[in-house]
Amino acid sequence: MAFIFDRNILEKLDDKADRRVAFLHRELQQLEIDLAKVNGQLFVGYGQPQDVWAQWLEAWKAEEIQLQSVHVGRDYEPYAQERDRSMAEFFAGHGVEFKGVKDSVILEKNEVTKDDGKPYTVFTPYSRKWRKTLTAGDYAEAPSHKEAAKARWLSPDAFEAPAIPTLASMGFESPEDLDALIPQRSIVSKVLSAYGDQRDFPAVPGTSRLSLHLRFGTIGIRQALRAGMAHSEKWTTELIWRDFYQMIIYHFPHSVEGSFRPAYDAIPWENNEAHFDAWCKGKTGYPLVDAGMRELNATGFMHNRVRMVVASFLCKHLLTDWRWGERYFASKLLDFDLASNVGGWQWASGSGCDAAPYFRVFNPTSQLDKFDKDLRYVRKWVPEYGTSLYPEPIVEHKTARQRAIDTYQSVLKPS
Ligand SMILES: Cc1cc2nc3c(=O)[nH]c(=O)nc-3n(C[C@H](O)[C@H](O)[C@H](O)COP(=O)(O)OP(=O)(O)OC[C@H]3O[C@@H](n4cnc5c(N)ncnc54)[C@H](O)[C@@H]3O)c2cc1C
């Protein structure tokens, strides 16, 4: 098995104590130990993927080892698509077969399409077709490490894998709070069974907290789906959302940088930096928004209901470009996943596929009354709420709501 810390990705990370890099590094160390128990090896490199492979191929050539094929888990993000295309050319030049395999999703790319073969852009019919298309084989258990090791492509006797590069050698360090912030790697059936009733209340541990593990593959998506099928239809639907956004990013890569619906690119965002700063710091004067942003800043996680509220508040109440919020989430979320993040942000801004209509604006105060009525979540993250230390609202709800509707309308439905 092999893994490359891709320099092109790591170099974009500003925080040298990035928890995601440290988490991955730690998991790889554990995987190396697990594989060794069944006589398998893990090759870990750091650099430009082609350079790393060129070095490995060179070293193996010296030992008279000819690599025959490389199988990679398919990745649907535009950068990864581009990289894998160039890796395919590289391997072809070395006489090595390069093959993508479906691994991180249940149904991919063109497996769920409309009857005319075109990709869906609306979730509900997609999910119906997804369920119709699914077969037991799509979520069957994968071979164990032991079985997989039997088929390993390089025996330890033939060539020994080099030591895993240290975090420091890649310019990173391990944050002290890593252990405290990584959610358990287990699927709790009790949580799934109560999911339908509990999932919207941020003070309650009513969701699985598996997003980081699903993102990095430290829990397999097929294992998750097996649990969903056994315990919760609603939770299974969330896994379908995940497949949906991976399918969307694959077919509509423009949606990473631009609005999914191009007309929304004309929205004259206000982009007030002081407002954006207050939003990032959790000092908007709207307690549910502030609690969410402070949870994100402190832990790298935010409850889904609150993600929807803070994202809507930024785009609509503060008329700030959704890409600003998307980038901020990308820098902070432990479970950051480009497809789901862009999908969630474009949904909130109204510019995405299957987004709520632009004139429906979340009211952050009624959301609070509905989902954190007794203020348990707010008091945890905003202890000064209700005292003179808590800031006044930076915008007035009714005025901001009307401004958002008028602004969107001026572009989308010119009179
Ligand atoms: C603005 C915004 C940004 C988001 N950014 C991300 C992101 O970067 N990475 C990410 O994994 N999720 C993202 N989500 C979706 C969702 O908020 C998280 O997946 C969820 O909160 C993670 O908590 P959980 O594991 O307890 O989820 P659960 O409620 O237990 O759901 C189970 C799994 O289903 C998947 N899932 C759930 N909801 C969604 C959804 N709406 N879209 C796609 N997949 C979903 C996740 O893999 C999740 O772990 C975003 C949502 C919004 C509104």
Q: Quick: pLDDT tens for 47-69.
A: 999 999 999 999 999 988 889 99
pLDDT reported for residue 413:
76
Helix (H, G, I), strand (E, B) or coil at 119: strand
Query: How many angstroms separate the CA atoms of 266 and 258, rounded?
Result: 10
Q: Which of 198, 232, 233, 238 to mutate to test the pocket of ligand 1 (most atoms within 8 A of CB)?
A: 238
Reply yes or no on whether 269 is catalytic. Answer: yes
Tokens 């902070």, residue? 332
DSSP string, 332-348: H-TT--HHHHHHHHHHH
Q: What residues form DSSP beta bridges with 165?
A: none
Closest ligand 1 atom to residue 245 Cα is 43
Phi-psi region of 295 (alpha: psi -120 to 50; beta: other; left: phi over 0): alpha
Name the residue among 211, 208, 166, 178 with its Cα closest to residue 191.
Answer: 208
147: which 2 tokens? 């079985």
151: which 2 tokens? 């088929």
Query: How many angstroms separate the CA atoms of 244 and 242, rounded?
Result: 5
Q: Which of 303, 335, 336 to mutate to test the pocket of ligand 1 (most atoms within 8 A of CB)?
A: 335
Q: Is there an atom of ligand 1 within 6 Å of 355 CB?
A: no
Q: Which of 104, 186, 340 to mutate to test the pocket of ligand 1 (most atoms within 8 A of CB)?
A: 340
245: which 2 tokens? 């956004």
Name the amino acid, one letter, at 157: D
pLDDT reported for residue 353:
87
pLDDT reported for residue 357:
84
- Counting every residue written for the chain, the total comes to 415
β-strand pairing of 43-47 with 97-101: unpaired
Buried b (16+ CB within 10 A) or exposed e, 290-323: bbbbbbbeebbbbbebbbbbbbbbbbbbbbbbbb
pLDDT reported for residue 415:
47
Residue nearest to atom 47 of ligand 1 (CA): 211
Reply yes or no on whether 279 is catalytic. Answer: no
Reply yes or no on whether 345 is catalytic. Answer: yes
Residue nearest to atom 40 of ligand 1 (CA): 241
Reply yes or no on whether 56 is catalytic. Answer: no
Name the amino acid, one letter, at 50: Q
pLDDT reported for residue 63:
87
Q: What residue ranges define each of the domains in the chain, with the CATH number in brackets?
A: 104-139+187-251 (1.25.40.80), 262-409 (1.10.579.10)
Burial class (CB in 10 A: 0-12, 13-18, 19+), 25: buried
Over the stretch 138-170, which tens digit does the pLDDT of each residue have? 999 877 655 665 655 555 567 789 999 999 999
Q: Is there an atom of ligand 1 within 6 Å of 209 CB?
A: yes
What Rg value do the Cα atoms of the chain yield, rounded?
23
- ∠ CA 261-263-266, nearest 5°, is 125
Measure Cα distances from 411 to 201, 261, 263 in Å: 35, 12, 8
Query: How many angstroms separate the CA atoms of 379 and 381, rounded?
Result: 6
- Positions in the chain short of pLDDT 50: 415
Catalytic one among 32, 238, 295, 326? 238
pLDDT reported for residue 149:
59
pLDDT reported for residue 155:
59
Q: What residues form DSSP beta bridges with 98?
A: 70
Closest ligand 1 atom to residue 244 Cα is 43
Query: How many angstroms separate the CA atoms of 144 and 157, rounded?
Result: 22
Taking the centre of ligand 1 as the mean of its atom positions, its distance from the CA of residue 48, in whole angstroms, is: 30
Question: Is the separation of the CB atoms in 368 and 408 below 8 Å?
Answer: no
Reply yes or no on whether 238 is catalytic. Answer: yes
β-strand pairing of 69-73 with 2-6: unpaired
Q: Is there an atom of ligand 1 within 6 Å of 245 CB?
A: yes
Q: Is there an atom of ligand 1 within 6 Å of 208 CB?
A: yes
Tokens 């988490």, residue? 23
Residue nearest to atom 5 of ligand 1 (CA): 341
Query: How many angstroms separate the CA atoms of 97 and 118, rounded?
Result: 30
